[in-house]
Amino acid sequence: MKIPTNPSEVAAAASNTFQQVAELGWGLGLLAKAGVVAPMRPDRAIGVAGGYLRWGLSMATGYAAGASRHPDRPAVIDDRGQLTFAEVHERTDRLASALADRDVDGDTSIAVLCRNHRAPVEVAVAAAKLGANVALLNTSLSAGTIGEVLREQKCNVLVADDEFADSLGKLPDGCRLITAWTDGKADGDTVDALIESGGKSSLPLRPPHGKLIVLTSGTTGTPKGAERPRPKSWAPAGAILSRIPFQAGDPMFIAPPLFHTWGFAALQLAMLLGAPALLRRKFEPADALRTMAEHRCGTLVAVPVMLSRLLELPEEDAARFDWRPRVVAVSGSALPGDLATKFMDRFGDVLYNLYGSTEVSWVSIADPTDLRVDPSTAGKAPFGTKLEILDDDGNPVEPGEIGRVFVSNGMMFEGYTREGSEVETRDGLMTTGDLGRLDSDGRLFLSGRSDSMIVSGGENVYPGPVEDLLASTDEVREVAVVGVDDEKFGQRLAAYIVLNEGASLDADKVRSMVKEKLSRFSVPRDVVFLDELPRNPTGKVLARELPESTESGDSGSSGKSGSSSSKSSGSSRSSSSKSGGSGGSSRSSSSKSSGSGGSSRSSSSKSSGARSASSRSSSSRSSSSRSGTSSSRSGTSSSRSGTSSSKSGTSSSKSGTSSRSGTSGRSGSSGGSSASNASDKSGASGKSDGTAGSDRADKG
């Protein structure tokens, strides 16, 4: 360690030390306000201190402390019942010992491929007690991609739900399979059996600090592992509590998948708060309301598309449950402004929107006051967070000017596990990959991904404002706007629109709305009507599964909800709509319709049930797609691979092989969340997602 000698270095070091002490003091005060720090009996304090001295700030310490402070309080409530803090602590001791008997130690990496239930929680805690690494795998990954990830992360153990294990194929040499959730009898080891039998091995007194690896979206190939940081103090928790008033002991329904940063961060917060974590393997709106009302759950952690599904419940169904939320915290994808307003009008001013990413954790948080002032804002930087908007030369821009979003806080990721992968930093600040501006009050407004801005006819055009405008119309349920290549103007915008039930809208009206409210360069010349936007389990639009767009030569392109001319065939929902004015057909390269019940796959052009489109296909597109106000039938969309043999309703254009550089636009989110936690039916046999998001846009 270098000791400062000259006056300027001494002054800088003193200032930094003072700031750290101030942050620790402030964070401690916020924890006390939330009820985390409170007087306790001496024997319980000794138990808490003993866990910290043995395991440091880790999952093991969290549940050991809970077992000392409130042993009989529910810690996890899932589809199979509840476990108290004392039970989780005791069960994970037994699981860790059984794993140690099978040579799991500080040099071991455990991969987890599970939906939301007790097993992934217990495996993470047991791994911390052994010092083993944990890699959280996305449940929509294909079997081939899972194999690549297991090899790259050097995983010795794969813990997987039975529904995924059946389709895994051969595991890499030296990788052992342990089954987590199973509805029947599983072959080989299971988590429950290991806990029941325990082991003979003693647990290490001071194990090494294991790593937590979260996967990026994998839009450019095999998902990269991102190493999550270990908190060095309670200050990071204080940062979140400075903007979101979580309360100790208040049951927390965690809807996003635990494999996503936002879902796992919520689990860690629940553990710190001594709050029961309510987990469900699949998110169903009515069941979620029933569960939250039954357990008097005042906190819901979700992604925006889940709020849409709650609002879409019939009034009579929602009225059956007396759910009165105190905090609803969302992240993982963009929060449409109209959705924020509608949700608060119905459930009260309890909505909080966190914007961040796997790499930077959090950037800003919008509280209800912010969202009432302007529902499109991403909010303000929380305590201990430095947020700056920089130009391309790294200089701060003036308030109101658009620039690149850079941030620093106490939980920046440790780097990618793959060599050669880096994130740009400037003077200790890390880029999120997004563009945005700050207003005079310090509120952040996002304009889209820095690589989603297009240049059309010499003008800079951002997809974000177009999406905001279209999403605010009564006819539109959800929308994604992306940039595509154009021979004349360089690039142009394409809008993919899903209509509300019974609504009708045509392409000309879409263009006229945009032309009236925004610049003429923002008018999407391609307008495609879909039955649904393809999404991955974290709610991001899958850009590579959007159908090829075609430039408008027919002003009559239109869409009607519930009356699509396209016929879905198999899980890929390939469209085959007959043209009324053209005998030609638009055919994806290397595509064949799968027939009934089939599932076609191709890395090139994919159909998503397009009802009408306009013009030539392009070879490249950048998506600034949002998580709109959809009912998100994401169950199949997260892995709907789809090569299509589609006949265009308005043109006889030929679509070539497409390489989409999807970048997820304004994510209002962290470190994510999920259109539907495990309503995706893809399992491990599904297609690796290829989301409309770069690796750094994995908001969670």
Condensed to tens digits (0 to 9), the pLDDT of residues 71-108 reads 999 999 999 999 999 999 999 999 999 999 999 999 99
* Whole-number Å distance between alpha carbons of 95 and 101: 10
Strands 212-215 and 176-179 turn out to be: unpaired
- The phi, psi pair for 531, rounded to 5°, reads -75, -30
The region of weakest confidence among 99-108, 256-265, 274-283, 539-548 is 539-548
Give the domain ranges of the chain. 24-210
pLDDT digits (tens, 9 = 90+) for 156-185: 999 999 998 766 877 888 899 999 999 878
* Whole-number Å distance between alpha carbons of 312 and 530: 19
Is residue 357's pLDDT more than 50?
yes
The region of weakest confidence among 280-294, 395-409, 592-606 is 592-606
pTM: 0.70
Angle at 511 between CA 508 and CA 512, to 5 degrees: 85
DSSP 422: -
- Would you place residue 609 in the very low, low, confident or very high pLDDT band (cuts 50, 70, 90)? very low
DSSP 70: -
* Whole-number Å distance between alpha carbons of 536 and 515: 32
The region of weakest confidence among 186-200, 232-246, 650-664 is 650-664
**Is domain 24-210 given the CATH code 3.40.50.980 in the classification?**
yes
In sequence order, which residues have a C-beta less than 8 Å from that of residue 138 and are 6 or more positions away? Answer: 215, 223, 257, 259, 260, 536, 537, 538, 689
Question: Nearest Cα to 681, choosing from 643, 647, 646, 634?
Answer: 634
* Whole-number Å distance between alpha carbons of 556 and 494: 16
* Whole-number Å distance between alpha carbons of 596 and 647: 18
Please give the pLDDT value at position 550: 66
- Would you place residue 249 in the very low, low, confident or very high pLDDT band (cuts 50, 70, 90)? very high
Please give the pLDDT value at position 449: 76
